Structure 1
Amino acid sequence: MRENVISALIIVGVLVIVGVLWFAYENPALNPRLKEESYTIVRKWDVPKELEEISGITYLSDNKIVCVQDEEGILFIFNLDTDLIEKQINFAKSGDYEGLAIIDSTAFIVESSGKIFEVSNYLSIDFHTEVYQTPFSGKNNLESLTADPKNNRLLLAVKDVDPNSKSYKGIYAFDLESKKIDSKPIFKINLDDPIFRGKNGSSDNERHGQFYPSEIAINPVDGNIYILEGKDPKLLIMDSNEKLLQLHTLNRESFPQPEGMTFAPDGTLYISNEGKKGMANIMEVELKKK
């Protein structure tokens, strides 16, 4: 009889502990991780091994994503419905390719050294590749690229050392008519902005004054500029007047190395991770309103 009572008490105790843990997990006020996460991962696609080093993505159409990885000069078309690579386009020899943008039938790829590759008619067997040298170099380290068709330009952000200042990271414009980059940024990410500080005014993760853009994209719905950091995973949102609107901290377990980002025409956000820990992936991410 006594053994039955003890067994029953043990079972009740285990159930209570499980209930408390479940309540804490589901209650953001008691679960620091849930409280900090200002986004929801709606869906995740593990990509094939060929894309283990995935570094840039652009939404094409019909649930297809064009991808580039940072070792081979190849464009991959990945189908979100079938989880398969449908097509590969070898546009150049091996290199360190990072950002990707597409306007109509032309693909643009930026190399970390600052070179921009223009692949005309990239879906055709008769595609043509042209290379443009920009004022940037390896010490600046360019990993981001996005299309701004309304202004007939591409936007790219310096990751490491901005050539003009240590107080900001510049967003520069590549004019699609002249095929040149202005030496001055059109937007500046002010590294002294209070958004990079913690709630108590202290430095955010002791990295105040540091931000390393790994990707950039324009939200087609509101026109805001989204800047992704992969080094210490974050997502910064800025408007066209350089006002920093939101800074989302990304959990490293879900975002071990986020380096690619793109929007569908309806504003659906996709972020890709290199295969730093586990398989590389593409995720549909929904940001919560702050």
Structure 2
Amino acid sequence: MKENRIAFFIIVGVLAFVGILWYAFENPALNPRLEEETYTIIRKWDMPIALNEISAIRWIAEDKIACVQDEDGIIFIYNLNTNLVEKKINFGKSGDYEGLTTAFNNAYVMESSGRLYEVENYLSPNFETKNFQLPFSGKNNMESLVADTLKNRLLFTVKDKDPNSSNYKGIYAFNLDTKTTQSLPILKIPLDHSIFKSEDADDDVESTSNFYPSDMAIHPKTGSFYVLEGKNPQMLIMDSLGKPLRLHKLYKESFPQPEGITFAPEGTLYISNEGKNGTANILEVEFEKNN
């Protein structure tokens, strides 16, 4: 009986401790960080081991998201409803695959070196793969890719050094008809913009900020650009003309390494995290609608 009483009090003590921790974490008065969060995580899907290095995602159909990971030349079709990979498309050899999008019946995958893979009729058993070396290299570090189907082009930006300037990261266009890349950006992420400067920053310090895009997406309703950074987790929102609107800080507890972003047609937003010290995942996220 004595042992049972001791066990009972131990269990009660553990439950009380867990309850206190939960209350402290969920109560904004005790956890000020919650008041600073400008997003809500709606749902979460843990990825299988094969997608632990998930580097890009693309919504393709109801409950289905195409994914790549940064080592293998495989497009994974993940079903959000069944929580299973239902199809694999082996389009290339091992590499450093960082960007993914689709346009019409084709899939496009970007390597960090600037090599773009076009997988024609990617869902068909008879798909064909072509590749194009864009005018970028590993020193630019290409990780983003999004389709702008209204203008029949793909858009992407550099993660590290822009070839044209150190004051911005350009958003460049690849024409799907001519298979050529414009040499100058169609839009610019202005690194000297005040949105990148913290309120307590010294006015005398270097005005140009660092921002390392890991992926981007276009909102299907507003045309705004959502540019994701995984190195210092955050989300930049720009309007369709490239004007910065808001910079959302992403906390590492939920976003340890955000590398992929995509929208469903009605505007539902998904962000993927590589499995940094844990399990990779895809999150359904809602941001505050101030902008």
Question: TM-score w.r.t. structure 2 length?
Answer: 0.89
Residue 116 of structure 1 is matched in structure 2 by: 116
Q: Secondary structure at the match of 1:91?
A: strand
Distance 1:25 1:110 in 2: 39
Give matches, 1:31-110, under 5 Å.
Answer: 31-110=31-110
Give yes or no for contact 2:197–2:209 (8 Å, CA) kept in 1. Answer: no
TM-fit CA distance, 1:36: 1.6
Q: Secondary structure at the match of 1:188?
A: strand
Residue 219 (structure 2) aligns with: 219
Distance 1:31 1:57 in 2: 32
- Cα distance, 1:284 vs structure 2: 0.2
The offset of 1:33, in angstroms, is: 1.1
Q: CA distance change for structure 1 residues 124 and 243 in 2, over 3 Å: closer, same or farther?
A: same
Q: Is the 8 A contact 2:45 2:281 kept in 1?
A: yes
Matched letter for residue 259 of structure 2:
E
- Mapped to 2, the partners of 1:207 and 1:64 lie a distance apart of 42
The CA deviation at 1:19 is: 7.7
Q: Is the 8 A contact 1:99 1:143 kept in 2?
A: yes
Residue of structure 1 equivalent to 2:141: 141
- CA–CA separation in structure 2 for the residues paired with 1:52 and 1:207: 37
Runs of 4+ in 1 over 6 A off after TM superposition: 18-21
Shift of 1:105: 1.0
Deviation per CA, 1:123-155, whole angstroms, max 9, x where unpaired?
Answer: 111100000011000000000000000111000
Q: Deviations over 1:218-253 (max 9, x none)?
A: 000111000000000000000122210010000011
Matches within 5 A, 1:229-248: 229-248=229-248
Give the distance between the partners of 2:230 and 2:252, measured in 1 at CA: 9
Judged with a 3 Å threshold, the aligned counterparts in structure 2 of structure 1 residues 21 and 118 are, in CA distance, closer, same or farther, namely closer
Matched residues in 2 for 1:282 and 1:207: separation?
34
Distance 1:145 1:207, change over 3 A: farther
Asked if 2 retains the 8 angstrom alpha-carbon contact of 1:111 and 1:142, the reply is yes
Check the 8 A contact 2:261/2:272 in 1, yes or no: yes
Q: Which residue of 1 aligns with 2:167?
A: 167
User: What is the percent sequence identity of the aligned residues?
Assistant: 60
Matched-pair contact (CA < 8 Å) for 2:225–2:242? no
What is the alpha-carbon distance in structure 1 between the residues aligned to residue 34 and residue 126 of structure 2? 50
Aligned partners of 1:216 and 1:225 also within 8 Å: yes
CA distance in structure 1 between the aligned counterparts of 2:214 and 2:21, rounded to whole angstroms: 40
Q: Give the Cα separation in 1 of the matches to 2:44 and 2:96.
A: 25
Query: Paired residues, what number?
Result: 272
Using a 3 Å threshold, how does the CA distance of structure 1 residues 187 and 29 change in structure 2: closer, same or farther?
A: farther
1:168-195, CA deviations, whole angstroms, 9 ceiling, x for partnerless residues?
0111001111111111001100001010
Are the counterparts in 2 of residues 38 and 289 from structure 1 also a CA contact under 8 Å?
Answer: no
Q: How far is the alpha carbon of 1:198 from its aligned partner?
A: 1.6
In the superposition, the TM-score normalised over structure 1's length comes to 0.89
Question: How far 1:202 moved relative to its partner?
Answer: 4.5
Q: 1:47 to 1:207 in 2, by over 3 A?
A: farther
Matched, 1:272 2:272: yes
Unaligned runs of 5+ in 1: 1-14
Instruction: Indicate the residue corresponding to 2:253 in structure 1.
Output: 253
Which residue of structure 2 lines up, in the alignment, with residue 187 of structure 1? Answer: 187
Structure 2 unaligned residues grouped into runs of 5+: 1-15
User: Quick one: structure 1 residues 202 and 79, their matched pair in 2 at CA, closer, same or farther if it must change by over 3 Å?
Assistant: farther
Shift of 1:28: 3.4
For the 8 Å contact 2:167–2:208, the answer to whether it is kept is: no
C-alpha deviation, 1:289, in angstroms: 2.9
- Residues 79-123 of structure 1 show CA distances to partners (whole Å, capped at 9, x for unaligned) of 000000000000011110010010121000000000000000101
Matched, 1:151 2:151: yes
Query: In structure 2, how many angstroms separate the alpha carbons of the residues matched to 1:57 and 1:249?
Result: 21
Is contact 1:155–1:172 with CA below 8 Å preserved after alignment? Answer: yes
